[in-house]
Amino acid sequence: MKPVFTSFSVPAFLGAALGASVLALSVKALVILAGIAVLIAMATSSVFAYFILVTTMPVHVDVFGELTVTKLTVPLVIGMVMFNALVRRGPWPALTQWPAGYLAGLFFLVSAASFVFTEHERFLPAEFLKIPVYAAFFFFTLTFIRNTDDCRRLLWVLAITGLVEAIITAAQVHYGFVMPGDWRRNIGLPIDGAMDGSFMSFQEGKIRAEGTTPHPIALASFFLVAIPCTTFLCMTEARPWIKGLLGGALALMVYAWWYTYARSSVIGFAFLILVVLWFRSKIVRTLVPIGIGILITGVLSYQVVAQWFDAGIQTIESQSFLAKADLNEASGSFQFRLESIVGGWNLFWAHPWLGVGMGGSILHNAKYLPSWATHPFHPATIHNTFLEIGSESGIFALAGFVGLWAWAFVCLKRGLDLPEVRPYAALWMSVLVGQLAFLMITPMMREIWLTLPMAIAIGNMARKTI
């Protein structure tokens, strides 16, 4: 006869302990106990510590000043991974993998050195802490994603995290739920007796949801990864009830993404879908080169492309279901991005070798805007990730970053040639192309430091399979 204690008493005891803690010490006690449980689990498994890190990817909630949940989690995860490596319960981080580890190392070292040239000390803490966060995502993904089973587990972590983020976003949309460090607390506040459009529109009840990220575009960036991963799981899952749950989660994520009103992510999803169709349709594989050829030969001028873009976006924005959105008009959004990109290019060529210091472009970008810039408001950061890196950290950091992209696509091409790895290679190829289009008109986003090593990991899987 099995002891009743093992089956029922232990869960009951744990539940009673948690309930008593909440009654005695408030809800914070529950958070503390949950944190202790997570630390214990992290101490026994390096992979679990890595997956905990992945779940914090979209969580930019402030805890102490500018220290976010992720920035606090990273040193714990690094410590747990190193501890497990020392006691031989887990692998050492893949820091010297050729050429990915060296390209990433070049980028991180040069970016760290560029802080010497940052002119304002207030940028140093927040910006410098980005480097270990990016590095942890990159090197730990290379370390712990070694086969298709690991890859599928990561997809589940991203899907569950995306579902939680979507629920929080829905609460923001319908109940005004606001996370600590919310972007609306720091944008559009009255200056010299005046109010800008963002603050006024927020007072009027307009919404752009950001979830636990610092800005709606950052939330859209996360969904640009989570939605394709959830779709992949839904399409490949054999059990109907799990497929149904994944379908519901996917619908909620799409709903949350919609309320970010991030038009730059629409372009990212358009390229992502185009890659998916490329793999599935011979017609698309024929039409895409033709379309690229037309653009390259200049049959369509910049003015025509801009007019088509503006007309399409304005048609969407004119619909009543976008009445709650806090948006610039389409032409304004396109205009300030173009001006920001040209300004970033000018800033890069003015400081090509060492840049102006990571995080320092905010101090210089306005001075390098083109003479024909007319938009009344400009973003603080350059809306092109590659120009942002080049202008802030110089050409050597940019070379390392571009090299990572080139190697990632080489690795994905290698994975596409093998049937065992091909489905995952196609998934990450579509995500990477979508992100590439997205990052051409947005600043650096955290998710790319997961996507790039995932693409490289796919190539490693293919090489082991050969």
Q: What does the pLDDT read at residue 421?
A: 94
If phi > 0 it is left, if psi is from -120 to 50 it is alpha, else beta; for residue 378 that is beta
Distance of alpha carbon 202 from alpha carbon 190, whole angstroms:
13
Q: What does the pLDDT read at residue 173?
A: 82
Q: What does the pLDDT read at residue 290?
A: 75
Distance of alpha carbon 119 from alpha carbon 129, whole angstroms:
17
Q: Are 329 and 377 in contact (CB under 8 A)?
A: no
Q: What is the CA angle 228-48-224, rounded to 5?
A: 15
Q: Where are the domains of the chain?
A: 16-92, 105-465
pTM of the model: 0.83
Q: What does the pLDDT read at residue 188?
A: 42
Parts of the chain with a pLDDT under 50: 1-8, 10-11, 14, 18, 21-28, 183, 186-204, 320-323, 327-328, 330-331
Cα dist. 208→73, 201, 263, 323 in Å?
27, 10, 12, 11
Q: What does the pLDDT read at residue 150?
A: 95
Q: What does the pLDDT read at residue 197?
A: 37
| pLDDT tens per residue, range 144-181 | 999 999 999 999 999 999 999 999 999 888 877 666 55
